[in-house]
Amino acid sequence: MSKLTLIITALLSYLWLSISIPVFAEVPVLFKDLSETHWAKPYIDPLSSSEIINGYPDGTFKPLANVKINEFITMTVKALGYRFESMSSDWAKPYIDKAIELGLILDREFTSYTANINREQMASIIVNAVALSEPRPSSTMDLYVRNETKDYYLVSDYYKQNIIDSFKYGIITGYADHTFKPKNFSNRAEASTVISKFLNKSQRKPFVKTYAKYAVVPTWYTDDAGNDLLMQTTLYAPLYNGKPVNEVVEFAELLGKVHDLGKGYIAYSYNPISQMIGSSGYASKSDKEYMYSLSPYEFMQQLANYGDISISVDLNSIGNKYGPYSFSMTKRIAIAEKYPQYSAYIIERYGDQLKPMFQFFFGAEYDKAWNLIVKGLNHKGNVVREGVTINGRTFDIVYSDEQCAFTVSIKP
């Protein structure tokens, strides 16, 4: 498990495999039944020249012919760079075995590999192939896809997430009438287009929702070699009561603007699996870099000595009275010995970062919440809890001589 993901999203990690995808030269190939103006010709020719898909001995391509499950699996595995020679009468078996090994399909997922493939099956296979080398898109877009797809209810439960991710990757999407037609069979022209979009990201048209706010945010992943990789992920405003909660995206953008403004340093990222934005505050950037250099076990051992603040935004609890924004400030003993008023340390280190957040939440009334935080940070004694409403938001704070924690709701 990545130590960075431990830091940012409280022991939640997202593992993904790294695999190289070949790029093939586009060499024109002519088929008797494929005119120069055929819509799929730009997709078919490069795949044919690279022997990912073949024509027939009579010089035809048969673009409208149905594709078998074993044929599409073979095309996909070949697009990943593999070539096999079958030692049995089943020419597709090596490719099917490799697809199972790579996680493109499940063993015994299909009762017959020679059956015609439908759109939901094709989408699932190709999305699993894409996910080998590309992180899954933001899960905050899922509701938008479901709401926009009239026949989403017809999609088999097993394939639903991959259908949604297919929209988000921009590989297999819906029709102009907002249907997906998951049970429809796919033909050779359509299959070629799907494989071509898999290989060429520039051909994709990812699903977008223009009225919803979104931002590009940092996301940590760990590859199969254990290397930590910083990626950029699109975070869409989550839906609540049928409407996008744009303020969550605006808060993520604010974190990006203020996280390194003060003497302290607030590292932050978004985890699309847990649907959480997480931040950790350190007294300095050098402290943060030291913590990130440790193993996960060492990090957990040192957290009490270096971690000052934890900030999270739980997109699963948008409408929660006590969320989705959560803050926790640990009162470290070594710091308390130097700063009898613990608020003095927090303001000195993080004031330039925290005050813009409070202004974001509470506007002109931010000082009411700020004064409660100062009170909680300086408190010494038993646990105290207070709940108030400021600027239309529920502000719930719990403090003791060990920590000060509070939650903030969205604004109605």
pLDDT digits (tens, 9 = 90+) for 287-306: 888 877 888 778 777 777 77
Cis amide leading into 63 (omega within 30) = no
Q: Domain ends where: 134, 169, 203? A: 203
Q: Domain ends where: 148, 174, 203? A: 203
Residue 222 amino acid letter: T
**92 vs 112: CA distance, rounded Å:** 12
60-103: per-residue pLDDT in tens? 888 899 999 999 999 999 999 999 987 778 899 999 999 999 99
Domain contains 73: yes
pLDDT for res 223: 61
Q: Give the lowest-confidence range in 127-136, 149-158, 236-245.
A: 236-245
Q: Do 103 and 168 fall into the same domain? A: yes
Q: Do 80 and 227 fall into the same domain? A: no
DSSP per-residue letters across 296-332: HHHHHHHHHHHEEEEEEEEGGGTT-TT-EEEEEEE--
Highest mean pLDDT among 221-230, 306-315, 390-399: 390-399
Q: What is the mean pLDDT of the chain?
A: 86
For residues 351 and 262, the answer to whether their CB atoms sit within 8 Å is yes
pLDDT for res 372: 96
Checking DSSP bridges between strand 307-314 and strand 276-282, what pairing results, if any?
A: antiparallel
Q: Give residue 148's pLDDT band: very low, low, confident or very high (50, 70, 90).
A: confident
Q: Is the pLDDT of residue 252 over 50?
A: yes
Q: Is the pLDDT of residue 321 over 60?
A: yes
Q: Do 97 and 126 fall into the same domain? A: yes
Q: Do 227 and 375 fall into the same domain? A: yes
Q: If we measure between CA atoms, which residue out of 350, 358, 219, 374 comes closest to residue 285?
A: 350
Q: Do 239 and 173 fall into the same domain? A: no
Q: Based on C-alpha coordinates, what's the Rg of the chain?
A: 26
**184 vs 168: CA distance, rounded Å:** 20
pLDDT for res 408: 97
Q: Give residue 405's pLDDT band: very low, low, confident or very high (50, 70, 90).
A: very high
pLDDT for res 10: 35
Domain contains 30: no
Q: Per the structure, how many domains does the chain have?
A: 2
Supply 70's token pair. 């074993």
Q: Do 74 and 90 fall into the same domain? A: yes
Choice between 334 and 324, residue whose per-residue pLDDT is larger: 324
Q: Give the lowest-confidence range in 227-231, 321-325, 334-338.
A: 227-231
Q: Give the lowest-confidence range in 111-120, 204-213, 323-332.
A: 204-213
Q: Domain ends where: 171, 203, 235? A: 203
Share of the chain above pLDDT 70, in %: 91
